[in-house]
Chains A and B, each alone.
Chain A
Amino acid sequence: ETGVTQSPTHLIKTRGQQVTLRCSSQSGHNTVSWYQQALGQGPQFIFQYYREEENGRGNFPPRFSGLQFPNYSSELNVNALELDDSALYLCASSLGTARGGNTIYFGEGSWLTVV
Chain B
Amino acid sequence: DQQVKQNSPSLSVQEGRISILNCDYTNSMFDYFLWYKKYPAEGPTFLISISSIKDKNEDGRFTVFLNKSAKHLSLHIVPSQPGDSAVYFCAASGGNDYKLSFGAGTTVTVRA
Chain A interface residues (CB < 8 Å from chain B): 2, 4, 33, 35, 40-45, 48, 55-56, 58, 90, 92, 97-102, 104-109
Contact = CB atoms under 8 A, between A and B. Distances in A.
A35 B44 CA distance: 11
Contacts of B102: 35, 42-44
A108 B40 CA distance: 9
Given A43-B89, A45-B99, A48-B98, A101 B42 contact: no
A90 B44 contact: yes
B43 A107 contact: yes
B100 interface: yes
26 contacts: A2-B43, A4-B43, A33-B99, A40-B104, A42-B89, A42-B91, A42-B103, A42-B104, A42-B105, A43-B89, A43-B100, A45-B101, A55-B98, A90-B44, A92-B43, A97-B98, A99-B32, A100-B49, A101-B34, A101-B46, A101-B47, A101-B49, A102-B46, A102-B49, A106-B43, A106-B44
A12 B57 CA distance: 42
Contacts, number: 64
A97 B99 CA distance: 9
Interface residues of B, number: 27
Contact of B42 (A41, A48, A97, A108): A108
B49 to A, nearest CB: 4
Interface in B73-112: 89, 91, 93, 97-105
- Give the interface SS of chain B, mostly helix, strand, loop or mixed: strand
Contacts of B105: 41-42
A52 to B, nearest CB: 17
A90 to B, nearest CB: 6
Given A43-B102, A48-B99, A55-B98, 19 more contacts: A2-B45, A35-B100, A35-B102, A40-B9, A42-B4, A42-B6, A43-B44, A43-B89, A43-B100, A44-B102, A90-B43, A90-B44, A92-B43, A97-B98, A98-B98, A99-B32, A101-B34, A101-B91, A109-B43
